Amino acid sequence: MARRNLFQPPAPPEPAGTHADSKQQKSRFPNTGAMSGVKSTLKDVSSNAVREISPSVIEEDGPKDRLAFTDADVAQLAASIKQHGQQVPIMVRPIADKPGHYKIIYGRRRLRALQTLGLSAKALVRSLSDQEAILAQGQENSQRLDPSFIEKALFAAGLVESGYEQAVILDALAVDKPMLSRMTKVARAIPETVIQLIGSAHGIGRRRWEDLADHVRDNELDLSKIAATLDLDKAKTSDDRFARISDAVARKLKAKTPDKASASPALSVTLDDGTTLAEVKETSRALTFKLSKSDTPGFTQWMRDNAEAELTRLYKAWRSDEQSN
Q: Tens of pLDDT along 280-323?
A: 888 767 888 888 887 888 888 888 888 888 888 988 888 887 77
Any idea what the Cα angle at residue 68 is, between residues 64 and 69, rounded to 5°?
A: 120
Cβ neighbours for 111, distance < 8 A, ≥ 6 positions apart: 55, 58, 60, 90, 104, 121
Among 221, 178, 184, 205, CA closest to 308:
178
Q: What is the rounded distance in angstroms from the CA atom of residue 174 to the CA atom of residue 3?
A: 88
Which residue ranges of the chain lie beneath pLDDT 50? Answer: 1-10, 13-47, 259-262
pLDDT of residue 225: 93
Q: What is the rounded distance in angstroms from the CA atom of residue 100 to the CA atom of residue 178?
A: 41
SS3 6: coil
Q: What is the rounded distance in angstroms from the CA atom of residue 66 to the CA atom of residue 75?
A: 17
The CATH 3.90.1530.10 portion of the chain extends over 43-129
Q: What is the rounded distance in angstroms from the CA atom of residue 183 to the CA atom of residue 198?
A: 17
Q: What is the rounded distance in angstroms from the CA atom of residue 325 to the CA atom of residue 320?
A: 9
Provide the b/e sequence for 291-322 (b: ≥16 CB within 10 Å): beeeebeebbeeeeeeeeeeeeeeeeeeeeee
The CATH 1.10.10.2830 portion of the chain extends over 146-257
Q: What is the rounded distance in angstroms from the CA atom of residue 132 to the CA atom of residue 172?
A: 9
Q: What is the rounded distance in angstroms from the CA atom of residue 249 to the CA atom of residue 2?
A: 119
pLDDT of residue 66: 59
Q: What is the rounded distance in angstroms from the CA atom of residue 91 to the CA atom of residue 104?
A: 6
Q: Are 197 and 227 in contact (CB under 8 A)?
A: yes
pLDDT of residue 140: 62
Establish how many alpha carbons lie within 13 A of residue 121's alpha carbon, considering only the half-sphere containing its beta carbon.
28
CB atoms within 10 A of CB 178: 13
What's domain 146-257's architecture? Orthogonal Bundle (1.10)
Q: Which helix (H) or strand (E) holds 21?
A: helix 19-28
Q: What is the rounded distance in angstroms from the CA atom of residue 87 to the CA atom of residue 19?
A: 51
Q: What is the rounded distance in angstroms from the CA atom of residue 49 to the CA atom of residue 278?
A: 60
CATH number of 43-129: 3.90.1530.10
Cα dihedral 243, 197, 170, 49 in deg (nearest 10): -130
The one-letter amino acid at 84? H
Q: What is the DSSP string of 102-143?
A: EEEEE-HHHHHHHHHHT-PEEEEE----HHHHHHHHHHHHHH
Q: Are 119 and 81 in contact (CB under 8 A)?
A: yes
